[in-house]
Structure 1
């Protein structure tokens, strides 16, 4: 009974949302003439015609009746209503569908200036940003202190997955490399999803399949995992073992970016070791601006 009420309530929310958006549409932008003095707002019949949806069915939707809208219908209405990506995702979530996959969107490897400023403001905490295809697009000086090669590797190779399987320094830096490498392959597959056929993704996977048998084994296992926050151990050649907490997050205004930030475990000597590393070893930040 409770679940049925939630479904019915969500349909009512969808209907209310479309009713309000219908009244806000500018008729001229949709190629429709003004109705008297009214230049905004569509009639239900017009929404039905433009979306290819039955007028009876659309009326029932706005009325919040006990119906189950399909994803195809909601997508059609979203196009007619000129919904933003956030609005479209909101409507789909109310109906129990996943957010639309923007598979054809280009991938921008440059990060906004304010995102670089945020990473720099973290000062003594290593942090970096990766794009949807896992290219490392920004980092701070503390990150360079932890992993110097991030600032010197060729831009074409500055991919988290590529470096994890091809850079001997990184393999030595991560003592639990076998587990971390498998976890990252599974997280990459889960994150990429339907975009794996896109050139950025398929070319990277192809390179890795040719370069690393370990990657091939992990890739062919078809593991799926989330990129989560966790405790990490790094074995640094200068300051020794660093016990850090890895925080993974996605900015609400840039869902194509993933931020990874490391903070020291307070229960160990990591704070002092990390301060020593950052104070004595970090060259200037050289991430793209």
Structure 2
């Protein structure tokens, strides 16, 4: 086992520093491990939970250390944010013990070994190839957009504008799913499962924070939302992480009523921070008819009323 430097027994710093400052990877590691340990019970992992009254939610440190095959002192130092010399093998064992998903495992590794990240700051501005906009415009009737780091909406087609509202009317910094979801009251009416949408967005931001701990714009966004939204603070504190994927969203559009749409997320091969998101409806369904109506009205996106901009 590789040696890990000692640290004090005190708690790690709070994970959210002043707005605009980089996020503290050491504190993020500590809080992430605590949150994953708290969600497991002894019976979940084949251990006997002795005693009726447990002072901590979930597994104790010694129980987790036993499952991972490391000493309690070693795991304690890691959970206090000191992962500088931890080996990949130990991280793999802890990930298995905590039953982490692939996304959570990758997040743990980035937090514990930040020096392994590329030593570059996230670019202040994100650029999209013009050919991608032409591709979006060619997808007639199918809502599609490109999303980048920090949940920034970088480009979209007329069908997306008809569905979600014309993001072109917003200031560039407000073309951001996190700001839209938590700061625009219309989003709560638009997304039938608003809580799930909000949870997904926060999970994506957590992944970005692990990939780019020095991104001051991301830190500023987290700070702003933490001040302005109780729901964001609550969800951020869960430390959940998730990769963008596929699924189903239910929406309540002011013009065509309720829509049930499937979505697919395709990561762009030449920029892993950008993803193409496309929505579609089951053929012959009322939602498919609704999308057709929106497409006919939305070729001039500015003529459409507001959705969940």
TM-score after normalising by structure 1: 0.61
Structure 1: distance between partners of 2:260 and 2:133:
25
Task: Give the 5 Å matches for 1:51-130.
Answer: 100-101=117-118, 103-130=120-147
* 1:192-223 superposed Cα distances (whole Å, 9 cap, x missing partner): 31414421110110111111110000001111
Segments of 4+ in structure 1 off by > 3 A? 99-103
Distance 1:217 1:105, change over 3 A: closer
The reply to whether residue 222 of structure 1 matches residue 258 of structure 2 is no
Indicate the residue corresponding to 1:276 in structure 2.
Answer: 293
The reply to whether residue 233 of structure 1 matches residue 250 of structure 2 is yes
Does the aligned pair in 2 maintain the 1:130–1:136 contact within 8 Å? yes
Structure 2: distance between partners of 1:281 and 1:139:
12
Structure 2: distance between partners of 1:229 and 1:281:
24
Does the aligned pair in 2 maintain the 1:232–1:243 contact within 8 Å? yes
* 1:162-216 superposed Cα distances (whole Å, 9 cap, x missing partner): 1111112222110100121012211221243141442111011011111111000
Task: Give the 5 Å matches for 1:19-34.
Answer: none
Structure 2: distance between partners of 1:106 and 1:183:
23
Gaps of 5+ in 2: 1-86, 89-115, 303-309
Structure 2: distance between partners of 1:156 and 1:281:
24
* 1:55-78 superposed Cα distances (whole Å, 9 cap, x missing partner): xxxxxxxxxxxxxxx99xxxxxxx
The reply to whether residue 260 of structure 1 matches residue 260 of structure 2 is no
Match of 1:266, SS state, is: coil
How many aligned residue pairs are there?
190
* 1:77-115 superposed Cα distances (whole Å, 9 cap, x missing partner): xxxxxxxxxxxxxxxxxxxxxx95464242433311011
Match of 2:265, SS state, is: strand
TM-score after normalising by structure 2: 0.57
Indicate the residue corresponding to 1:150 in structure 2.
Answer: 167
Greater RCO, 1 or 2 (C-alpha within 8 Å, sep 6+):
2
Structure 2: distance between partners of 1:107 and 1:270:
38
Structure 1: distance between partners of 2:246 and 2:124:
25
The reply to whether residue 167 of structure 1 matches residue 184 of structure 2 is yes
Deviation at 1:149, TM superposition (A): 4.3
Match of 1:244, SS state, is: strand
Structure 1: distance between partners of 2:200 and 2:148:
18
Q: Which has the larger radius of gyration?
A: 1
Deviation at 1:249, TM superposition (A): 1.2
